[in-house]
Amino acid sequence: MQMEKLVSLCRRRGFMFQSSEIYGGLNGFWDYGPLGVNLKRNIKNAWWHDMVTAHDELTAPAGAPTPYEMTGLDCTIIMHPQVWKCSGHYDLFHDLMVDCRQSNRRYRHDQVRGRWVEAKGQRIFVATVVETSEEVDDVTRRALKFFNLRAKNADDLAWDGDFVSLETIDDMSQVLGPDAKELGTLTEPREFNLMFKTIVGAMGSERDAAFLRPETAQGIFVNFKNVLDSTRVRVPFGIAQIGKSFRNEITPRNFTFRSREFEQMEIEFFCHPDSSQGWYKFWRDRRMRWYTELGLAGERLILREHGEEERSHYSRGTSDVEYAFPFLPKGEYGELEGIAHRGDFDLRSHMEGKLDENSPGLEVQLGEDGKPKYRGSGRDLTYRDDLSGEKYVPHVIEPSAGADRATLAFLCEAYTEDEVPDEKGKLQTRTVMKLHPRIAPIKAAVFPLVKKDGMPEIARDIYRAIKQQMPAFYDEKGAVGRRYRRQDEAGTPYCITVDGDTLKDNTVTIRDRDTLEQWRVKVDDCVSEISQRVK
């Protein structure tokens, strides 16, 4: 599937729009249209339902060491600045970037690639940020221009090796930046903190600086004690939160995949250190299964365990659920969700503002005087088991998912072009979004075959009855075949048509979006039939 086709469908049918489009858009920000808002909400609701509300805390699910409880939270986006100092984000949440002195553009160091080339006795590195499929053309065009060669002399360019990351280049003076005309205009890589800064209150001084949260997780950690004290939850238990997060990504791209404002669905699961590895494995598999149950099955979805060198300093195990997004080079996957064993790093940081000597990571929070750089809350965030009397800092397993990346993956997976016969039996290509009925924005569309003989009245009654239970759509305009096509593009799993037979025997046809199968049901059974099928 070509990504451009999906992007254009998303815009045309109202799944997604560029934010502030009438003013030219704002890079890294996206709006969800009338269909998209339902789709994303259904995904978030499915997550909350499956992870929190419908979770059975009395029975241990398959693979879980014991039964467990789940509860929820909704925290603020702006929190006390100290939260980010103790969490490590203030010092460590950065990407390396390079600036171009000529074009005034900024790039993420790891996202610039390029190739060495030699001509006219000079060897240079031509850098690009153009997507993989077009990068060859881009560097060739720019190398020709740099050496003042014509396209027909492309053979004069002696390429040396394949594309490599800018990270492999030590000497920037030989680099032709992605938008530069001369060599050596890129700066050395510099750290760039990804948190958005803002000012709280009217004074507007640096002392009032605060940050938009770059993840929802910290709100859960700082409320750990509140949840314990206000409920009767016992370890093991999880706290879930869905909410917006903000990261000032240097190069937002690939549609909504890397945005600057996005939504996360996170769980912090608190358990006893001794059983934490078992819980880590449980959550890794449970989360992977969630995606497959909603239709991301097949080889495009993988669970990838990180190697030790790739893990954060505090992590004792990390796996990513990854999806082969169509905009990525063949064989590459993009992260949908990370499941990390974070040990007691977070609770301990918020408690002490430092880590004990057994926990790696201590070095990052020490000031020049060797003392902890930031003071923690000083609150006791240990857990006391009222049955055994044991007191400990729970370990944490964190399944951290992105609602927008999940939405994008479900859209990519759903996009299908197939051939179906039209009314005259001729094969026509149709575009159909094969979204799982549970997340489809509209569950059923109701059509009168023609706009007369009382058919619209019956159809409207059916539509109103369905609408009380789930999102439905009524359409009486144009040929019925075209109405089907529009619903196929919207991903509506069922279309109900009121026709001549309805007037005689009080039945309607239901058409299945994927199989195109049609069958008749009694008008009175419509709602229950659709409800059962979209569960």
Residues that bind ligand ATP (CB under 6 A): 215, 247, 249, 258-259, 262, 264, 335-338, 400-402, 404-405
Q: Which of 408, 384, 379 minimizes the C-alpha distance to 394? A: 384
Nearer to ligand ATP, 307 or 367 (CB): 307
Nearer to ligand ATP, 149 or 302 (CB): 302
Whole-number minimum distance, CB 88 to ligand ATP, in Å?
Answer: 12
- The DSSP code sequence of 193-242 is E-PPEEE-SSS--GGGEEEB-S-SHHHHHHTHHHHHHHS---SSEEEEEE
At 30 the three-state DSSP class reads strand
Whole-number minimum distance, CB 264 to ligand ATP, in Å?
Answer: 5
Nearer to ligand ATP, 281 or 405 (CB): 405
Which amino acid is located at 31 in the chain? Answer: D
Nearer to ligand ATP, 213 or 405 (CB): 405
Nearer to ligand ATP, 181 or 244 (CB): 244
Note whether 290 and 49 are within 8 A (CB): no
Q: Check the CA dihedral 132-133-139-145 and report its sign.
A: negative
Whole-number minimum distance, CB 201 to ligand ATP, in Å?
Answer: 28
Note whether 390 and 384 are within 8 A (CB): yes
Note whether 143 and 285 are within 8 A (CB): no
Dist CA 189 CA 89 (whole Å): 19
Whole-number minimum distance, CB 402 to ligand ATP, in Å?
Answer: 2
Whole-number minimum distance, CB 197 to ligand ATP, in Å?
Answer: 17
Dist CA 474 CA 481 (whole Å): 15
CB neighbours (10 Å) of residue 126? 25
Whole-number minimum distance, CB 23 to ligand ATP, in Å?
Answer: 22
- Residues listed for the chain: 535
Which amino acid is located at 287 in the chain? Answer: R
Nearer to ligand ATP, 335 or 529 (CB): 335
Dist CA 4 CA 412 (whole Å): 11
Alpha-carbon Rg of the chain, whole angstroms? 28
- Name residue 529's beta-bridge partners: none
Nearer to ligand ATP, 109 or 258 (CB): 258
Whole-number minimum distance, CB 285 to ligand ATP, in Å?
Answer: 17
Nearer to ligand ATP, 399 or 448 (CB): 399
Whole-number minimum distance, CB 210 to ligand ATP, in Å?
Answer: 20
Dist CA 396 CA 236 (whole Å): 10
DSSP element (H, E) containing 209:
strand 209-211
Q: State the residue for tokens 């917006």.
A: 244
Residue nearest to ligand ATP (CB): 402
